[in-house]
Every structure is written in C-alpha cells, then in structure tokens.
Amino acid sequence: MKPVIIFRHSATEGPGYLATFLNQKKLPWQLVKMDEGEPLPASITSYSGVVLMGGPMSVNDDLPWIPPLLALIREAYQVDIPLLGHCLGGQLISKALGAVVTKNAVKEIGWGEVNVSNNSVAKEWFGELEGFNSFHWHGETFGLPENAVHLLSSPYCQNQAYAIGKHLAFQCHIEMTPEMVESWCAAGAEELAESVASVAVQQAEKMQETLPLHCFFLNKVANQIYSQWMKALVH
C-alpha cells in the first residue's frame, strides 16, 4: 500500500495519537518535517492519504512553503486522495479550497466541549456521539469551502470541523497525547500568561489536571474518526 504522507510544521506538533493509530493498523506513513526545511514531494499521487498537522504560524503569513503546499492539497483533492487537517492543517485545506481564514473572536486554548452537528454526514463520522471534550490552541478560524458539511462547533468557535466527502478538516486537536499537552504548555507559557484573564483560555495547571484521562477519552474519539477516514485511503 502507498504510505500516508504527514506534513509537520512545528517540532512540537507531530502526528501524536495518529502515529499510534497508523502503526496499530499497520498502515505505512511518511513524515515531512516542514519545520526542518524538508522538501515537498513533486506530486501527491505516490501517497494513499494526506495529513496536515498544526503549527503556530498563520496560513496568511508570507512563508515560501505555503503556496506549493496549497497546490499539493488542491492536487490531492482533484485526484480524490483523502485529506485530513488538524488546526493549522484544517486551515490550510480551507484556504487551498477557496475559503477564507480569519482571526477568531477570541483565542481558544485548553480542554473544551465541542458539539456534533445534527446531520447525516456528522453521524457517519461520529456515530451517536453528540459532543466530546477536545483540545484547543488557536487564534484563527476557517470558513467552510464549497460543498463542505459542518461537523463540530464550540462555544468560542463556530467552525470546529467539516467534511467534504472523504476529506476532513478540524480546527480543534483530536491527535493529542499527554506528552504533547505538556510540551505545548511549556512552549506556550508566555502566550498563556498574556491570556490569563480570558474565559476561553485555560492555564497550564488546569490543562494538565487528570491529563491521561482526558487524552484517553479523546483518543477514543480520534480512533473512531481515523477509522472512518482510513476506509478511503488509496491502495
């Protein structure tokens, strides 16, 4: 089987639980470390699926790798290779497919409930789940591209996930592990201190309370999502 290609944009924002899932399913995957300047593939057709992880930058930043990566996303979409975006990754998919990425009303950081939309497509992805406690760390939000079906919302951000057929984009982070949460809290200490008064931002101590349990339940949701997504991988 062709490997799944995973684009990492920051050293601390790797595939997390997704790597565990792919290994358990014995699905081959390849990590491209954009943060270390590794080159993009010339074409996306050598891969069974395309995954885009998070990162602290904006899709609207003038970075040299963003336009060619957007072109690869569009190529994957055109040839029907499944796309999966997490946070920045979801925003990259949105921008590539013609939607606008803008500043969110507030920064949303920490654990927080997301609600599953009441439609048949959401049921295909989430089953009977009506909501779950997800992880958040974002200051921007994506619009929905053409033909997208809304999947998730939160009190602080309306567009938390959408699907276009086999393609899936998240604003929230379903890939978290305890180690990732701890490293983000350390790396983002200054950002957290600046947002101490915000009701939409949890501080590090609160985020790390019963952390293994939070991640255990989030991984169960991610397992459901990733299991659905992998059904469309190109063999």
Domain containing 121 equals 4-230
Residue 53 covered by a domain: yes
Residue 235 lies inside a defined structural domain of this protein: no
Is 93 among the domain residues? yes
What domain count does the chain have? 1
Domain assignment present for residue 214? The answer is yes
Q: Report pLDDT digits (tens) over 12-55.
A: 999 999 999 999 999 999 999 999 999 999 999 999 999 999 99
- Asked if 233 and 1 count as a contact pair (C-beta separation under 8 A), the reply is yes
For residue 222, which phi and psi values (nearest 5 degrees)?
-60, -40
Q: What is the CATH number of the domain that holds 87?
A: 3.40.50.880
Complete edge-to-edge strand list for the sheet that includes strand 83-86: 29-33, 4-8, 49-52, 83-86, 167-170, 157-164, 149-154, 101-116, 131-142
The structure's pTM equals: 0.98
Q: What are 196-230's pLDDT values in tens digits?
A: 999 999 999 999 999 999 999 999 999 999 999 99
